Amino acid sequence: MERYEIVKDIGSGNFGVARLVRDKLTRELYAVKFIERGHKIEEHVQREILNHRSLKHPNIVRFKEVLLTPTHLAIVMEYAAGGELFGRICNAGRFSEDEARFFFQQLISGVSYCHSMQICHRDLKLENTLLDGSTAPRVKICDFGYSKSLLHSQPKSTVGTPAYIAPEVLSKKQYDGKIADVWSCGVTLYVMIVGAYPFENPEDPRNFRKTIGRILSVQYSVPDYVRVSIECRHLLSHIFVANPEERINIPEIKSHPWFLKNLPMEMMEGGSWQCNDVNNPSQSVEEVLSIIQEARKPLNVPNASRHLIGSSSMDVDDYEAYVEDIETSGDFVLPNMSN
């Protein structure tokens, strides 16, 4: 970390805290995710690093390198100066349909690329969708802590953030991670347009049991005060389908009339964003694995992680126990975005 100087803390995510740093030589800004060395360096962390390392796309935060400090593993990546898409929608209340489409097109472009690389994200949400600092912000998907490489196995565990979870993910059976990602993209689109979560009970937003019930029964509606085109409603109705085999997939979304409207030239088939460019990071897979292995060794440093903040996502095998735990502990309370 000698070549970087810390500028400020910029937040927290799955398994660690993030800081803004500046390269002392180039003066470029980067985001660095710090994860305490030792037992916290588990399979999720290795998966995040290796999956993220393999991706190169305009709508995905670029991976740079991994480094070791005396107490932490540091993941260096592109800095998205525009912050979270979540913050933008909270400030605006909700987006116009055209603005929502502008961001949704980019989200689908990035997710489509991930799927083409046989990686499903499994925790897509507004908080994991960043923006660069440009006037017409470019979407940057981040946080691959729960992503799953389809080259190894089909996803089975219940992962993700409650408001965005697809019905089939709530089961303990194998599911198609790509189709589950589609559902999460649909939730993101709905929130951008309506300014509230689709399956949250508006009269009792903190009742997680009701939220799950509404997800499983696909119980949602677009409020009368929100003007949404027939084409957009049609797309949402084909995303929010309980049976994943009947749900619209990414290629079908990309050919949907609502999606195609005002689609930027570079995002069209054959455009400059369509090249499946392989990332060429400075470190080989062997180097990365060696650093991760070293980071796994336990440290005799007290309170090395006292500043780390816990994850807002979940990995739960027992569904009923999970729901009971949620209701008794108060965890995973969803913000009421309609206020």
pLDDT for 43 equals 77
Task: Give 83-271's CATH code, choosing from 1.10.1530.10, 2.115.10.20, 1.10.510.10, 2.60.120.200.
Answer: 1.10.510.10
Task: List the chain pLDDT tens, one digit each, 339 residues.
Answer: 889 999 999 887 656 788 999 999 999 999 999 999 998 888 778 888 888 898 999 999 999 999 999 999 999 999 999 988 999 999 999 999 999 999 999 999 999 999 998 888 777 788 788 999 999 999 999 876 544 443 333 333 444 457 888 898 888 778 888 999 999 999 999 999 999 999 988 788 778 888 889 999 999 999 999 999 999 999 999 999 999 999 999 999 999 999 999 999 888 765 555 555 555 667 899 999 999 999 999 876 555 444 433 333 434 333 444 444 433 333 333 334 444
Tell me which of 9, 23, 123, 143 is the catalytic residue. Answer: 123
Strands 119-120 and 148-149: antiparallel
The pTM assigned to this predicted structure is 0.80
pLDDT for 300 equals 67
pLDDT for 29 equals 97
Residues near 299 by beta carbon (within 8 Å), at least 6 away in sequence? 36, 37, 38, 71
Segment 196-203 long-range contacts (CB within 8 Å, at least 24 positions apart): 196/223, 196/336, 196/337, 196/338, 197/163, 197/334, 197/337, 198/240, 199/163, 200/163, 200/334, 200/336, 202/338
Is 292 strand, coil or helix?
A: helix
Q: Which of 143, 132, 110 is nearest to 33 (CA)?
A: 143
Question: Known catalytic residue: 9?
Answer: no
pLDDT for 317 equals 38
What's the pLDDT tens digit per position in 188-234?
999 999 999 999 887 887 788 888 899 999 999 999 999 999 999 99
What's the pLDDT tens digit per position in 60-97?
999 999 999 999 999 999 999 998 899 999 999 999 99
Q: In Å, how far are 42, 167, 182, 213, 336 from 218, measured between CA atoms?
A: 35, 8, 14, 8, 19
pLDDT for 281 equals 66
pLDDT for 247 equals 97
* Ranges of each domain in the chain: 83-271
8 annotated as belonging to a binding site for a ligand: no
pLDDT for 120 equals 80
